[in-house]
Amino acid sequence: MENILDIYCQPYDENCPVVCMDEKPYQILGEVREPIPMEPGKLLKEDSEYVRNGTCSIFMFTEPLTGWMHSHARDRRTAVDWSEEIRWLLEEVYSNAPKIILVSDNLNTHIIPSLYKAFPAKKAHELARRLIMHHTPKHGSWLNVAEIAISVLTRQCLCRRIPTIDKLNGELSAWNKIHAGEQSPVNWQFSTNDARIKLNHLYPKF
């Protein structure tokens, strides 16, 4: 916990930015009957029955100190899927940054060896050398700023039925563009000193 909190206290460094990532499972749902659209004075009417078209995983990246957010859905959440997202992050978003600090949870695919399952050793090594991995502790997902981004995305974009992953990615792309013009840095205020007072019960007694 203190390791993550110390990272969030670091000043902005364009040569080694802090990026948080997380994943959200999502159900692809279709309609059995077309909803009755809203009219003046009348709510949208949606049937309680739906078609389950499978599941997917939404990858979320956010840079707390700039407010940048990006989401993208994939059919699965395998080591290869994670690695492809990391390659995109390093080569297309942060191509000019020698290294990035990546904060993520302890999911078994969120590890450097996953890169070697997706790419030849030379390529995997090049990517790995630019990653400084930091994992939140178990039961400590509240420490991951990407959780905040996922909460915002869920409220603004995902609280409805979306029938296909292509349609979902279209909606996510539109959401990404809106937030690209409304970037708002995260004002993280909980420090290590705060943790030692407010979460004192978690520390050993001497």
Per-residue pLDDT reduced to its tens digit, 178-200: 888 777 898 899 999 999 999 99
Confidence of residue 25 (pLDDT cuts 50, 70, 90): very high
| Two tokens, residue 199 | 């979460």
Q: What pLDDT score does 108 carry?
A: 93
pLDDT at residue 50 above 90? no
Q: Is residue 206 part of a domain?
A: no
* Residue 59 included in any domain: yes
**Assigned domain for 191 exists:** no
Mean pLDDT of 156-173: 93
CATH number for the domain spanning 123: value is 3.30.420.10
Within a domain: 200 = no
pTM above 0.75, yes or no: yes
- Average pLDDT estimate for 24-39: 84
Domain that holds residue 33: 2-37+44-178
Give me the number of domains the chain comprises.
Answer: 1
Give residue 181's pLDDT. 77
